[in-house]
Structure 1
């Protein structure tokens, strides 16, 4: 039982007052814990929360004390068309209200909701500075809550600007392996319609091929229409989205992609993902699309302090690309998993 009496309730995304309270708790928690964190603005977050994809439901819960003050939140992501055995949970507790049972109450409420949905896997994430630390408070909380360690991803930052000589050298060394069979194309904002089916197929397979310990994932329900909705949402938010694609010359198929996003006034870019189709690996296409997108970023949007990316340490090929580019380790992200039906 929490030491602070209160109630957990489902938040209506249309309620500006509750959404503001939830937003403020999330910003306070992340600012306290993550030295690199830079928040998006409230209006952009509202757009994101109020226009979810129909393929993934979102349920936002918050713990309120007797005075109506929001102490903590739990955002559940619930896949509806793929991986329907899973729920993803993101818990935040205001720093001044930690160690009072609020986080535990939110976790238990989320597990109960997952059981009601018939899900058998609940995922939660922790971020700790540097290497995995068994004694970190987040890790201890995850274990005490009953979660088991699934797999680790390593967060790396690349200081900007990257020297042009380095980018040119890496681009040229990659080109030796692919020129004549593939071409690299870059885009700001929407990717042209002709490429959307191929890009959607790549993004469908990303979850399947990403290292995830002993846990299997279905291909995600990504379609051209879902990508169009994403672009609509980003344009409304004022978000900058840069894409680099590798296109197979003979077939015209999109076989590799890399995406960067930024949202002013945030002073860094986020690497959303880089993926090479399993049938077209071995041609340095991962390096080629990453370099092309960085060149586009530095040419058209100078100013960000760094690029943030995250990869499993076992993904040796992408890790080597990141190391060659100059990315440096800053954090370890651990994915935790629990079967809620065992509680």
Structure 2
């Protein structure tokens, strides 16, 4: 989505999520006035046949002409870069649905943006969820971190991070995300250069020392009241011990002390991800937007 601050937008174009930055193209009319914006992502770590784009059109130019030109441009841009699958995410509103239909894009998934209001959070609920999860996960311990991972945890975190691939993809034609130590370090570099503080809580099996799951929240330093839930995942062989609830509740207790200015955290989930949504709703997350994900072969 095309939201945020000018500085945040510039950082996205410089660094992206993990040093795989997006590109932006500005549409102007004959007078040189900006009328539209196209933001394009060409994945390089995986799914290298894909292009994903967002677009925004000035309210005075929403007769479809500018949007059509931007879509034609991104489709040709994809072809020129050897990409065959074009993806687009639009708000669940009639105009965006009509635009996707008009240009031959097929809906494949629904993503939901939920926002947690920490000012209205009942901390007794958080503490109760944490205590119940601790009782169910006595074979595990928690490691809390701020900033980069220690070198001795890096290899173990590759598989844990890749566990996110088990989250629902609905009908999206996408490959699993591919992680490596280099990519994890690139993520940390991009977040640091974007002036985001990374907070992690990691679950570790006591008997073996194996890393079992993690949750990550990044807090903006430009707007320290805003946090972003970047990931929560539990390795398949460690599920069934309430580690997801343990990690999420422990993170909130950590942030209460570490980030006193923090008032909201945004998270994104597939609408079909019932398990994670169930935990989020216990923690005062409310829906603020639905995004329909579309794809088209070119």
Calculate the TM-score normalised by the size of structure 1.
Answer: 0.79
Query: What SS does the corresponding residue of 1:331 show, helix, strand or coil?
Result: strand
Matching residue within 248, 251, 260 for 2:208: 251
The residue number in structure 1 matching 2:134 is: 175
The residue number in structure 2 matching 1:331 is: 289
Quote the RMSD (CA, aligned, Å): 2.3
The residue number in structure 2 matching 1:72 is: 36
Answer yes or no: is the 8 Å Cα contact 1:269–1:308 preserved in 2.
Answer: yes
1:222 is the counterpart of 2:179: yes
Query: What SS does the corresponding residue of 1:125 show, helix, strand or coil?
Result: strand
Query: What SS does the corresponding residue of 1:287 show, helix, strand or coil?
Result: helix
In 1: Cα distance, 2:174 partner to 2:208 partner: 29
The residue number in structure 2 matching 1:34 is: none
Change in Cα spacing, 1:48 to 1:153, as seen in structure 2 (3 Å) is closer
The residue number in structure 2 matching 1:61 is: 25
Change in Cα spacing, 1:84 to 1:163, as seen in structure 2 (3 Å) is same
Shift of residue 326, structure 1, vs aligned partner: 2.1
In 1: Cα distance, 2:260 partner to 2:205 partner: 30
Query: What SS does the corresponding residue of 2:42 show, helix, strand or coil?
Result: strand
In 2: Cα distance, 1:218 partner to 1:284 partner: 28
| 1:251-270 to 2 correspondences below 5 Å | 251-266=208-223, 267-270=225-228
The residue number in structure 1 matching 2:160 is: 202
| 1:77-156 to 2 correspondences below 5 Å | 77-128=41-92, 136-156=94-114
In 1: Cα distance, 2:162 partner to 2:67 partner: 33
1:213 is the counterpart of 2:153: no
CA deviation profile, 1:124-152 (whole Å, cap 9, x unmatched): 11224xxxx5xx21122122221111111
Answer yes or no: is the 8 Å Cα contact 2:12–2:21 preserved in 1.
Answer: no
Runs of 4+ in 1 over 6 A off after TM superposition: none
CA deviation profile, 1:196-254 (whole Å, cap 9, x unmatched): 22223232342x32212233433323222222233233223321221111112223222
1:233 is the counterpart of 2:190: yes
Q: Any unmatched runs of 5+ in structure 2?
A: none
Change in Cα spacing, 1:215 to 1:46, as seen in structure 2 (3 Å) is closer
Shift of residue 56, structure 1, vs aligned partner: 4.2
The residue number in structure 2 matching 1:282 is: 240
Shift of residue 194, structure 1, vs aligned partner: 1.8
Query: What SS does the corresponding residue of 1:79 show, helix, strand or coil?
Result: coil
Answer yes or no: is the 8 Å Cα contact 1:72–1:103 preserved in 2.
Answer: yes
Change in Cα spacing, 1:331 to 1:54, as seen in structure 2 (3 Å) is closer
Answer yes or no: is the 8 Å Cα contact 1:205–1:220 preserved in 2.
Answer: no
Shift of residue 157, structure 1, vs aligned partner: 1.6
CA deviation profile, 1:40-98 (whole Å, cap 9, x unmatched): 342x5434322358984643322122333332222221123421221111212233332
